[in-house]
Amino acid sequence: MNYRDKIVLVTGASRGIGKELVKYFLANEATVLGLSKSDFSCDGKYFHYSCDISKGSNIHSTFRKIVKDHGRIDIVINNAAVLTSQYAMIMPIQNAEDMVNTNLLGTFFVSREAVKIMRKFKHGRIINIGSMAASLEPMGDSIYAATKAGVRTLANVMSREFSKLNITCNTLGVTAIETDMLNQLPREKIDEIIEALPVPRYANIDDITNVIDFFASDKSSYITSQTVYLGGIN
């Protein structure tokens, strides 16, 4: 899909799925605004904003700058997330809090700040990157799965609040994809989960962008509050 004249904001832009999405949108002529804690640069129409997604006040001030710099956002990809997979009884407190603050509250604050801009144009697309963990509920992922289930619920509730503004909110539940986040997990455990899927293979970036293209396009104007899982997960 061509994104010429579209401004796309991607959180967690400096690595993993976010970095791949930045490259995809740039290759398809979008202007891309990337948010992440670490510095990152890219050739083309890429504008990086250093922002700690786990802090609401940091997100608010970043969007104040974005509105002054660009004045508009068409599409938001809420991708930023952190993951610690650990049994509940031995999960470090800080890691649990980081997951809630980044994955759940970060998605909430980014969405609402973006909508404050989108509402003036009566058009917008919010696309949350969810996870198979929210559906499969694997051991060790109690907090991570809960935050990703929460991301889906955020989209569903926000879709009601924003529908009159012609802003849709949908979630893409991704399966495992080769990223640095995956390296934090025991590979045998992931292989076992993937082998049990109706489509037993790892996801690739095309699987993700195919769904994002639909959610981002005008063809999905009547589609909101929906979650699409990859790999045959319900």
C-beta closer to other proteins: residue 14 or 224: 224
Q: Which residues contact 148 (CB under 8 A, 6 or more apart)?
A: 81, 103, 130, 131, 133, 134, 173
The DSSP 8-state label assigned to residue 217 in this structure reads S
C-beta closer to other proteins: residue 4 or 164: 164
C-beta closer to other proteins: residue 167 or 203: 167
Q: Does 69 bind other proteins (CB under 8 A)?
A: no
- Does residue 46 contact residue 102 with C-beta atoms inside 8 Å? no
Polymer length in residues for the chain: 234
C-beta closer to other proteins: residue 41 or 57: 57
Q: Does 116 bind other proteins (CB under 8 A)?
A: yes
C-beta closer to other proteins: residue 137 or 161: 161
Q: Which residues contact 166 (CB under 8 A, 6 or more apart)?
A: 122, 123, 124, 221
Out of 90, 164, 180, 195, which residue is the one contacting other proteins (CB under 8 A)?
164
Residue 72 C-beta: closest distance to other proteins, Å: 15
Cα separation, 130 vs 102, in Å, equals 13
For the window 119-148, what string marks contact with other proteins as x by the rule CB under 8 A? x-----------------------------
Q: Which two tokens stand for residue 177?
A: 């994809």
Q: Look at residues 109, 28, 26, 114 and name the one whose alpha carbon lies nearest to residue 66.
A: 114
Out of 37, 45, 55, 60, which residue is the one contacting other proteins (CB under 8 A)?
60
Bridge-based pairing of strands 75-78 and 227-229 is unpaired
Residue 188 C-beta: closest distance to other proteins, Å: 49
Cα separation, 177 vs 135, in Å, equals 16
Residue 116 C-beta: closest distance to other proteins, Å: 5
Q: Look at residues 128, 184, 187, 138 and name the one whose alpha carbon lies nearest to residue 159.
A: 128
Query: Which 170-229 residues touch other proteins, going by CB under 8 A?
Result: none
Q: Does 4 bind other proteins (CB under 8 A)?
A: no
Residue 52 C-beta: closest distance to other proteins, Å: 18
Residue 118 C-beta: closest distance to other proteins, Å: 12
Residues of the shown chain interacting with other proteins in the complex, contacts defined by CB under 8 A: 60, 64, 116, 119, 161, 164
